[in-house]
Structure 1
Amino acid sequence: MIRTMIVDDDALVRLGLADLLGSDPGIEVVAQATDGVEAVDKAVAHRIDVALMDIRMPRMDGITATARLRALDHPPKVITLTTFDLDEYVYNALAAGADGFLLKDTDPTEILRAVHLVASGSAMLHPTAARRLIDRFHHTNRPRAAAALSSIEQLTPRENDVLVLLAAGHTNADIAIALGMRESTVKAHVSRILSALGVTNRVQAALLARDAGLTS
């Protein structure tokens, strides 16, 4: 059972998401919060697995809240849900440690799929928005690209292969099939990659890979 928390200052959004998540027998909504301050308090109290996080909220926004949640002793995974397709706040949320982002008009089945994927250690990004966002913030940043290349030089050739597929959005199962590995071996490689690159999740690793020009 995936223990989830909904964080949004709009009561109707919270109600709709609670109904959606409650329709999945593998997901349980154990907490709801109206802003980031409340989200951090409830995450400590309820041991959340996945938080669905709005960005623009009073008192503490979703970006700050994401960073606070990821710094907890038992950090939940975070999926940012936003209405702002190319808003720089989305990139900042990913940099703060979010494991993915979706637009609020995403098909409900994809939102449920995202919760399961993120809970299992994968990432979930809205494909069109992700590509445009990464292009905007990364491809023209040469100092960042140089730093990314330096970090990636620490990886073995096999880890580099895994990183390329990870950055393209493939799950651990997809990578295992593509590279002829066990899924447990892929997970071990991913853990090593995150540690070597000094990042906390797959999204940040993917951004580094794109900075370094490993993917288009």
Structure 2
Amino acid sequence: YPHRYLANTDLLFYLIDCQDPERYGESLDYFDKVMEYFKEQRENIPIMVLLHKFDPEIKENQEINKRALVFKQNLLKYKEFQIYFFETSIYDIKSIMDAFSTGLSFLFENIEMLYSYFEDISKRYNILFISLIDSTGITVGEYYSALRLIDKLKIYNLYLEVLKKVKMENKEKYEFSDVLSNGKRFSGVIEVLNLEQLRFL
């Protein structure tokens, strides 16, 4: 009975265990009920579908990838809804952060303007990565310049490590440096911003 839980919903995260294909049918049936509820209520909210437990050791598994693709195709019939797919894993924290940050970004006004602003700053000052994250760890907005995936992940993981130090040591500013896969060194800084009652990193 989805109506018990979905009344006044602004954003929905729908989690699927990609390592439990025997329950795909059950998940699809319940998803249909959820969609039927939103149709009846004439609500078109953003829906984040997380194919979870998409762990590193199974990313290349053809059978699991095929099942995941079939699952996605089954949801394409709901073209009138805003449905976004993510492959997430607890062994890839960024995958989870990306999914939740993307979803929550729909609740923030002027998110596109923030992205454009970050892009402009990045190009003007040759910055590799800009991110605005609230104190709970949710990414409000970010921009990456042209980087290899391995370098994006390296910068992001380094950022998370430095972020922990900022919180543990209660610092307002923390600088860091490392080397990219091409041998070039990069430097960065994390600074705490307090805007009225909001706190960002």
Larger % of helix: which?
1
Structure with bigger gyration radius: 2
**TM-score, normalised on structure 1?**
0.30
With the length of structure 2 as denominator, give the TM-score of the two structures: 0.32
Higher-strand-fraction structure: 2
